[in-house]
Chain A
Amino acid sequence: MNQQFLTFENVFFGYDKKSPPVINGLNLQINEGKIASILGPNGAGKTTLLFLALGWLRCSSGNISLLGKPLQNYNRKSLGKLIALIPQSEHIPFEYTVLEYVLLGRAPYLPPLGMPSDADQEIALEALERVGISHLYSNSILGISGGEKQLVLAARALTQKPRLLLLDEPTSHLDLSNKYRLIKILRRLRDEGTTILMTTHEPEIALAISDDTILMNNGQVLSTGNTSEVVNDANLSLIYSVPVKIIEVEGKRQVQWI
């Protein structure tokens, strides 16, 4: 296990010089091979933290390193092979087939002006198979359901064969059965060694799937560590400013808040 997988050291970040920073002197370590949830109320800086981990946003001070090397020292392509993103939702302006769309994830593996080959197509089909929607490969991406679309985005991320998979509120648009499918996919990926970092504002989701939880509030880490220790009544009540109770039902921890 690599303890130096992804580290944030005293990270500050603000979108605008005039307004107060969104990320405020944050220190954090993400362990390899685990599912970690960034949990916190709206506006806590969860997505910002995720985009900092992606390298898309650059911290104004401090340091973020992946595998012991600062993010900004990676070139674009090698980072594209290491980190993949499943965005919360994606505006798709044109009518691609599912397969064409998933193939885009092969971009970091292609030469500068290269195009995907049959081998890439095979990888894309495998990825579709892993998320359970390979039968949709020739469908139009505008004609499938929202849940299936999220699975397409997951398949695209898988074709990048990332070591770190980032997800932004992955379950917020999904119904129960699709949530279940996604959670199963994420668990399997973790078991195969992929590190998963996701944001969520639902404590239930953090409790259901994450090994570690990072509790965020006002751009800082309030508490981090094993989910069962971090997600407790006191912490949740504090960050959401409503009384929250964790109860145990049939051996599973559940969130009760109303």
Chain B
Amino acid sequence: MNSAIKTAAIAKTQVTTASRRAILIWLGIGLFSLFLFSLFLGRYPSPGLISFDQLNTDELAQRLIVNLRLPRLLTALLLGVTLAASGTVFQMLFSNPLVEPGFLGVSQGAAFGAAFCIVFLGGAAVYTQSMAVIFALAGLGLSYLLGRKIRYGGWVLRLVLAGIAVSALFSAGLGVLKYIADPLKQLPEITFWLLGGLSSITWRHLISILPATLAGLLILYLFRWRLNLLALSEETAFSMGAAPKRERILLLTAAVFPTAAVISVAGMVGWVGLIMPHIARRLFGSDTRLTLPASMLLGGIFAILCDDLARTLLPGEIPLGILTSLLGALVFILLMISHGLKVEK
């Protein structure tokens, strides 16, 4: 190429990258401001903001912010970031824009584990949380083992099939548990868990999920460019010097551990992991070098917004899962009719 044209082309891509980075920074600023704003927002006692005067004089308001709102908001942030990041990673690894982090038996496994604990083990929060994590990982493990046993199709197809089968098994099991649960005490608790929410989050919850989520997210972030490579067919990724099997399993694990952790404290919060990557791709293109961080920021914003609505809109809490599904589905419909969802014809 004529070197002037080449320089121009490079300059042009640099400008695009720079403007996308700028949007990314603005998203970060937006997230931070929303976080601060939400810290003061709530029903205390009527919907509105806590003023600085009140904060200086009212000891209860201080405790409310430090002991209730801060851990809750941090968890909402972590939840959104994790689900959106895992969603992006899952969509890349399965080269399918319609999968989400609960895929591969993870969500259904967690739901089954939590319900099992509520029905048989008394449903203390610690146990419910641990059982949800254990069964989420069991769901992944089972899907993986079953995927290895399937005799046909590529790696992706086999895992997808195995994931569907394992999810179906767990949801059938969940049906049985709901059927035998005490309709007055246990069933409402299961239902509430399945709807998802952050109303009972404390610092202890947050600290319990922090190591798994931060470690997982860090690994995903570091591999953000490489994800592009792993979205290609296995032999093509291999031909470019990747070790697709090994790298995919590493990234899958790094995505599932944080997902299981956040599900275990927040219950089933759907649609975040499916929608955020789509919006991120709409804004930043498909290169995960930018799409992954963008998706994480958007996820954080979306989760905090939904949680703000959940705790302020009505006198009683609205389950978070309902709001994310409602808003998520609406956004999804908007994306589809505005041709934002581009899939290979």
Interface residues of chain A, those whose CB is within 8 Å of chain B, are 51, 54-56, 76-81, 83-85, 87, 90-97, 99-100, 104-105, 107-108, 113-116, 118, 121-122, 125-126, 128-129, 134, 137-138, 142, 160, 166
Cβ of B191 under 8 Å from chain A = no
Q: What is the minimal beta-carbon distance from B85 to any residue of chain A, in angstroms?
A: 16
* 7 A-B residue pairings within 8 Å (CB atoms): A81-B241, A91-B95, A94-B92, A100-B286, A104-B240, A118-B14, A166-B239
Query: Which residues from B are CB-within-8-Å of A99?
Result: 9, 13
Q: How many A-B residue pairs have CB under 8 A?
A: 112
Query: Which residues from A are CB-within-8-Å of B241?
Result: 76-81, 107-108
User: Could you tell me the distance between the alpha carbons of A100 and B223 in the complex, rounded to whole angstroms?
Assistant: 16
Minimal Cβ-Cβ distance residue in B for A116: B225
Contact of A80 among B1, B225, B239 (CB under 8 A): B239
User: Which parts of B1-40 form the interface with A (CB within 8 Å)?
Assistant: 1, 5-6, 9-10, 12-14
Tell whether, in the assembled complex, residue A113 and residue B243 are in contact, meaning their CB atoms are under 8 Å apart. Answer: no
Contact of B231 among A93, A134, A166 (CB under 8 A): A93
Minimal Cβ-Cβ distance residue in A for B94: A93
Q: Contact size class for B?
A: 35 or more
Q: Interface digits, B188-208 against A, CB 8 Å rule (1 contact, 0 not)?
A: 000000000000000000000
* Given the contacts A94-B231, A129-B1, A85 and B236 also touching, CB distance less than 8 Å: yes
Minimal Cβ-Cβ distance residue in B for A50: B235
Query: Which residues from A are CB-within-8-Å of B243?
Result: 76
Minimal Cβ-Cβ distance residue in A for B239: A85
Q: Interface digits, B229-255 against A, CB 8 Å rule (1 contact, 0 not)?
A: 101111110111111000000000000
Minimal Cβ-Cβ distance residue in A for B2: A129
Query: Which residues from B are CB-within-8-Å of A54?
Result: 235, 238-239
User: Could you tell me the distance between the alpha carbons of A129 and B6 in the complex, rounded to whole angstroms?
Assistant: 10
Query: Which residues from A are CB-within-8-Å of B233?
Result: 87, 90-91
User: Could you tell me the distance between the alpha carbons of A54 and B237 in the complex, rounded to whole angstroms?
Assistant: 12
Contact of B236 among A90, A113, A118, A129 (CB under 8 A): A90
Tell whether, in the assembled complex, residue A76 and residue B344 are in contact, meaning their CB atoms are under 8 Å apart. Answer: no
Tell whether, in the assembled complex, residue A100 and residue B97 are in contact, meaning their CB atoms are under 8 Å apart. Answer: no
User: Could you tell me the distance between the alpha carbons of A125 and B223 in the complex, rounded to whole angstroms?
Assistant: 24
